Each structure stands twice: as structure tokens, then as C-alpha cells.
Amino acid sequence: MKQKPLLTLFLLFATMNHSLQAQQNDRTFAPSGQVTVERVHFRTRFGTTLAADLYKPRHADGKLPALAVCGPFGAVKEQASGLYAQTMAERGFVTVAFDPSFTGESSGEPRYVASPDINTEDFSAAVDYLVLRDDVDPERIGIIGICGWGGLALNAAALDTRIKATVGVTMYDMSRVTACGYFDSLDADARYELRRQLNAQRTEDARNGSHALAGGVVDPLPADAPQFVRDYYDYYKTPRGYHPRSLNSNGGWNRTSALSFLNTKLLSYSGEIRSAVLLIHGEKAHSRYFSEDAFRQLRGDNKELLIIPGASHVDLYDRMEIIPFARIEAFFRGNLR
């Protein structure tokens, strides 16, 4: 009889340990012993609830600088954004990596929809959350956006004056690539045809009472796939970066999600960003022109473009030997003060 409470306690600890291991193993990167991780939630101005992982230096004390992290476009917090958040927490920051509205473990119906205004708000909602934390200095908050979330981070920095510094890594301008295609290859007639197709799909979705998906990264990989598609496949479709909740690893975005980006231009006011900005891109990335062109719009002497020699677009998702974390830390240390 006396052994039952001990057995119950043992089973409780075993269950807790299993849950912790499951949570750790749910990520595509190894957990760090230098940080603590906590699942948190916060609301956006549009009524969605964002699920996020909060990373803190294990022996943190006092009010610390903080960072909100998101991306790549079509990924979840257990992929690259979590890796960035964990690494920056190891370097002394409180960080939060979140799932965007309508994706991952965050709320929002219909599922798998992106929007320039809602996803810009996602960043500001994360800032709301960080500002109110007792362990965060509300005057020292920055953001990191990866891939398509690099453009959304710039959009948030142009809108939210609480954001004191922004890093955009391997950035996409999602409005530009949606409306104009890669390297601005689409003309007005091609855009009209794209709108016609998307609105025909909208009619079909309304008729079916469901929302068709566009498909994630192509699988199987075609023999003639360009190198950047092969790079995406190597990340999203292999154990390196696959995640069961990642849109790119699985069924992709809602097909009609692209409508919002076709008609709403990001970065319209990026030239008015007064806070510090660091854009990082790979020398060999197919997407390099997005950061270079965005950088030309920025004003002020606190803006910087850093090109990583030999790096591709996807290298900056998770290649620890390539991602310039020391430079990112120095940037935030110098501007969050």
C-alpha cells in the first residue's frame, strides 16, 4: 500500500519526461542545454491566437533584450525560426518563435492562408506579448524574419515603432514574387490570367465548401528541377528539415491564399523605417535580388546589407557554420540599447 504513492509519482515523472522529450524531438534541430523552452500563446488584433515557443537563457536575470522570430514562408516554429530563436537565446536574448495565423498550431480558419496585413500583425502581436513580460526590457525589442517573413518583418518595422531593430534573412518580397513572378517575368496579361485562375478556384472552393491546397515542395523531384527547388526539397522533404505541420513539407498553402499578395504591395513605406535594419542574403541565392532591391529603398546610416559568400537561399535556414549569428548578435547589441 505504501508503495502506490511512490509508483504514482514515478509514473508522473516518467510521463512528464516523455512529454518533454516529445516536445524536444518535435523540432528539426537539437535542443540546447543552455536555454529553457516554454509553449506560450498570445492573441492578434484580428482575433487569432498564435502558438509560440519561448526561449530563455537558462540562468537569465533581470530585464533582457527580446526578439520575435518567424519564417520561412510555409514553415513552422519547429523549423528554422526555432533554431534562430534558440541560438539567440543562448546569446542572452529572450526570444519567441511563433506559428503565423492560420498555420501550424496557431488558430485561424480557413487553414493555410497568408495575408500581408494579418501576417504583419502577427509580428506586432508578438511584440505585444514581449512588451508585457516582466523579464523583458520593452525598449529593447527586435524581430527576425526569414525568407518571406523577411519582407513581412520590414513591413512590420515600417509600421510598429516599438520595433527597435530588424534582421531579414534570405528575404523574399512575397507581393512582388506573387504578382510579378521570379525575376519579374510576369506582365499584366500574365497577372490577369493568374487572377482569373485563382478566382475560378475560389468559385470551386465555394461550391465544394472546402479549400483546395496548392501543394508543398514538389515531390518526387523532377529530373529537370532548378537548383533552388532542389535546395528546398533537401530541406523540407528530408529528415534535415521535414516537419508534419509544415506547409512546405506537406500539402502547401490554400490555393487562393495568393490573392491577397497579388493586390497588396508590401514594402510601400520601407523607406520610412527609422530603426536599424540588417539584411542578410546568400551570394548564390536565387532570391538575392529581393534583399538588394529592398536595401536600396532603405534610408539612414543604420541600415546594412550582408552577403554571405558561397551561400544559397536555403543554407541560411539551418547551416550553423554559415549563418552569421555573431554578426546578428552584434547588430542587436548595438541597436537594442
Q: Please give the angle made by the CA atoms of 294, 176 and 325, to the nearest 5 degrees.
A: 45
Q: What is the CATH number of the domain that holds 92?
A: 3.40.50.1820
Counting the structural domains of the chain, the total is 1
Would you give the DSSP letter of residue 30? -
Does 274 fall in a domain? yes
The tens-digit pLDDT sequence of the chain (337 residues) is 344 444 333 333 333 333 333 344 599 999 999 999 999 999 999 999 999 999 999 988 999 999 999 999 999 999 999 999 999 999 999 999 999 999 999 999 999 999 999 999 999 999 999 999 999 999 999 999 999 999 999 999 999 999 999 999 999 999 999 999 999 999 999 999 999 999 999 999 999 999 999 999 999 999 999 999 999 999 999 999 999 999 999 999 999 999 999 999 999 999 999 999 999 999 999 999 999 999 999 999 999 999 999 999 999 999 999 999 999 999 999 999 9
The SS3 assignment for 136 reads strand
Does 196 fall in a domain? no
Domain that holds residue 128: 31-185+266-335
Does 239 fall in a domain? no
Q: Locate cell 534583399: which residue?
A: 291
Does 300 fall in a domain? yes
Does 160 fall in a domain? yes
Does 1 fall in a domain? no
Q: Locate cell 536555454: which residue?
A: 35
Q: Are strands 165-169 and 276-282 parallel, antiparallel or unpaired?
A: parallel
Does 23 fall in a domain? no
Does 92 fall in a domain? yes
